[in-house]
Chains A and B, each alone.
Chain A
Amino acid sequence: MADVKAAEIDSGVRKKLMFVNRKAPYGTIYALEALEVVLISAAFEQDVSLAFLDDGVYQLMRGQNTAGIGMKNFSPTYRALGDYDVTKLYVEKESLEERGLKSADLMEITYEDEDANFAEKSSVRIVSRSELTDIMAQQDVLLNF
């Protein structure tokens, strides 16, 4: 046990970082920039989670097709986050409802749970506004996009 603890300290500080996404993709660069920093943070072995609220919920829309606007469709990257141990994607229920959206309108994003015999689990967690408020309050750092 003592060795494990020493190893944890050697690996540096692990903070709870939450990326707060509030903008639709493509109209501005925020969504793509957030995704870049999420991947960097994950590489530094931080406890990373993402929140999608307000127009940010549009980032997770299923079936994004950007061929017509000449921009790169970066939505498949969200599905790769599990490979970087980023497995907590909180989506605010009220934001979906205000926009006429349902959870079925969102992409399926899963990860393999190492602690449960690599069972495939959903990374997307639909939470209420008050639940999200509590989750945000528990973070060490909030990064806003």
Chain B
Amino acid sequence: MSTLHTVNKSPFERSAFISALNHLKPGDAVLMIEDGVVGARKASAFADLLAMAAESCSVYVLGPDLAARGMGENDVIEGAKLVDYGGFVDLVTTHRQTQAWL
């Protein structure tokens, strides 16, 4: 009975990312999309926080949004997995509910 949390705002600009991490239960998934993908960047000020969440939850990043901002698989924290739009749909269907942190 897990939840998919989506984050579409940069953690440097809004508190949505932090709120999402503060409301995770073990086994939940976090998917970073749109400007939210910058929060997955390796060595950023939020990297350690996200890495900690990744120990008990799955962390996903939407690949097309990452590519649009000049980044790829090697630029995100270890443990974060890239998904495409099809993968996004799969995540929605395999979790009981979706919480969109706008």
Q: Interface on A for B, CB 8 Å cutoff? A: 23-28, 54-55, 58, 61-69, 71, 73, 75, 98-101, 105
Question: In the complex, which of the residues A55, A61, A71 contacts B70, with contact meaning CB atoms closer than 8 Å?
Answer: A61
Given A64-B69, A65-B67, A27 and B10 contact (CB-CB distance below 8 Å):
yes
Docked pose: A54 CA to B13 CA in angstroms: 8
Contact B41 A61 (CB under 8 A): no
Q: Assess whether B34 is interfacial by the CB under 8 Å rule.
A: yes
Main secondary structure of the interface of B (DSSP, over half): loop
Report B-chain residues with C-beta under 8 Å of the C-beta of A23: 13, 35
- List of A residues within 8 angstroms of B9 by Cβ: 27
B90 to chain A, nearest CB (A): 17
Q: Please, which residues of chain B bring their CB within 8 A of the CB of A73?
A: 68
A residues within 8 A CB of B35?
23-24, 26-28, 55
Report which of A69, A101, A105 forms a contact with B68, defined as CB distance below 8 A: A69
Residue of B whose beta carbon sits closest to that of A106: B70
Most chain-A CB neighbours within 10 Å: which of B9, B47, B67, B68? Answer: B68
| B side interface size, CB within 8 A | 24
| Chain B proximity of A23: nearest CB distance (Å) | 7
CA distance A69 to B69 in the complex (A): 11
A55, B38: Cβ atoms closer than 8 Å: yes
Residue from the list B43, B63, B70 in contact with A62, Cβ < 8 A = B70
Q: Is the CB of A68 within 8 A of B69?
A: no
CA distance A28 to B35 in the complex (A): 8
B44 within 8 A of A: yes
A67 proximity list for chain B (CB < 8 A): 64, 67
